[in-house]
Amino acid sequence: MQLVRENPIVALILGCEVGLWVLLGLGLVARYLLRLRTLSTLLLAAIPLLDVVLVVAVTLDLLRGAEPRSVHGLAAVYLGFSVAFGPSIVRWADVRFAHRFAGGPPPVRPAKGTPERVASLWREWSRVVVAAAIASAVLGALILFVATPEQSGQLSSWISRLWVVVGIWFVAGPLWESGSRATTEGRRRGGP
């Protein structure tokens, strides 16, 4: 808790994460339990506003002379992942909520080694690339337009970290699954 008290950006990141789930939950309750589709749409559409609040807060914090810390870079990363994964998180929750409370079909999870699973991992990885690109752009904009030369080093180090994560995700996700699938298919055909 001391980290949160000493750095309001950490509190804001946590608040944005909690806000995302609260708005998502309220939006789904309004849609499926209360049958208030317009209210549901408004609540779900408000989720990206949390990202705007976060970007503005980080910008203002740096403009007022705050020393850039890991949390400023983390805020940009959070923003990138929130924008890239937000719609898929909403769809994920919507399917499960509809199944549980509105008689919708059960969620489908592709089985390991299937073409559907490989395609799903490639889509997920492409979201990671988009998230890293957005976070890198935000960090680049903060470096160019907001940070002083002394502040820019801490922010720029986040960009290389992001792309290392993208590479690891690629190897551990779609590449690994594609290789496993190819090996499995080779065995089925009587190969080594």
Tokens for 138? Answer: 């935000």
Residue 186 has pLDDT above 60, yes or no: no
Split into its structural domains, the chain has a count of 1
Alpha carbons 117 and 83: distance in angstroms, whole number: 23
Residues 6 or more apart in contact with residue 159 via CB below 8 angstroms: 135, 136, 139, 140
Determine which of 60-64, 118-122, 147-151 has the lowest per-residue pLDDT on average.
147-151
pLDDT digits over 12-55, tens only?
Answer: 889 999 999 999 999 999 999 999 999 999 999 999 999 889 98
Averaged pLDDT, 6-12? 83
Q: How many CB atoms lie within 10 A of CB 3?
A: 9
Tokens for 76? Answer: 């940009």
145 pLDDT band, cuts 50/70/90, is: confident
**Domain assignment of residue 182, given as a range:** 2-188
Averaged pLDDT, 150-165? 88
Q: How deeply is 186 buried, as exposed, middle or buried, from its count of CB atoms within 10 A (0-12, 13-18, 19+)?
A: exposed
8 A C-beta contact, residue 130 and residue 77: no
Alpha carbons 137 and 159: distance in angstroms, whole number: 9
* Residue 116 amino acid letter: E
Whole-number percent of the chain with pLDDT over 70: 92
Q: How deeply is 37 buried, as exposed, middle or buried, from its count of CB atoms within 10 A (0-12, 13-18, 19+)?
A: exposed
pLDDT digits over 113-140, tens only?
Answer: 889 999 999 999 999 999 999 999 999 9
Alpha carbons 133 and 125: distance in angstroms, whole number: 12
